[in-house]
Amino acid sequence: MRVLYDSFGSMDNNCCLIVDENSNKSALVDCTEFSQKMLNLIGDTDLRYIMLTHGHFDHITGARDVKAKFGAKIVISKTDAPMLNSSRLSLAAFCNAEQNDVDADILVDDGDEIELGDIKIKVMSTPGHTSGSVCYIADDCIFSGDTLFKCSCGRTDFPSGSPQQMAQSLQSLKELDGDYKVYTGHNSITTLDFERANNPYMR
């Protein structure tokens, strides 16, 4: 498995590309924009999935056009799926941002798995930032969206956010066996061991 990532948009969103090196099949985790920079990230891989960690506009705006270009299937939790077609739910309406409506192809829940060539990507429900936030886990990597950040966590004061659920989700991540490389939705990538030791929201 190979992971590529880059930062996009005014909010410096991290979008990640998971690549199965045997088949060249890939999955894009979050899709801030449709741009040449995004096309460069995808490159010549066979994009099969656009896997959204949650439904806020800064993570989904490019999904419609990337899906149209590559025929990739959009994956999102059942709970956050309505955000794909509502500028109010995605918060785009309140931030003077685009809302490119698109339908989900695969609705996931906790414990579901997506197969990408030889890679199995597990869905972990991590509500708190939104009620339908998820992390994707593949091999020794966690794609945490806006749940876990380096020494921090996502905001819980948006609609459907919950400090109590966030605390429970961070505890669930903390209790995973072993160390993981954590690809966050914003800011620096980190490791789970580092966060266990240093993140005040994980203590």
How far apart are the C-alpha atoms of 110 and 161, rounded to whole Å?
A: 18
Q: What is the pTM of this model?
A: 0.98
| CB neighbourhood size of 100 (10 A) | 22
Task: Write the pLDDT tens digit of every residue in 74-105.
Answer: 999 999 999 999 999 999 999 999 999 999 99
Domain containing 151: what range? 2-202
- Number of domains observed in the structure of the chain: 1
Q: Which of 42, 22, 20 is nearest to 30 (CA)?
A: 42
| Type of residue at 160 | S
Q: For residue 181, what are the CA distances in angstroms to 42, 73, 84, 188?
A: 21, 25, 28, 11
CATH number at residue 166: 3.60.15.10
Element (H, E) at 194: helix 192-198
Q: 123, 132 in Cβ contact below 8 A?
A: no
Tokens of 52: 């959204």
Percent of the chain residues past pLDDT 70, beyond the cut: 100
Query: Averaged over 133-158, what is the pLDDT?
Result: 98
- For 8, residues 6+ apart whose C-beta sits below 8 A from its C-beta are 14, 15, 32, 33, 35, 37, 38, 62
| Bridge partner list, 149 | 152
Task: Write the pLDDT tens digit of every residue in 31-81.
Answer: 999 999 999 999 999 999 999 999 999 999 999 999 999 999 999 999 999
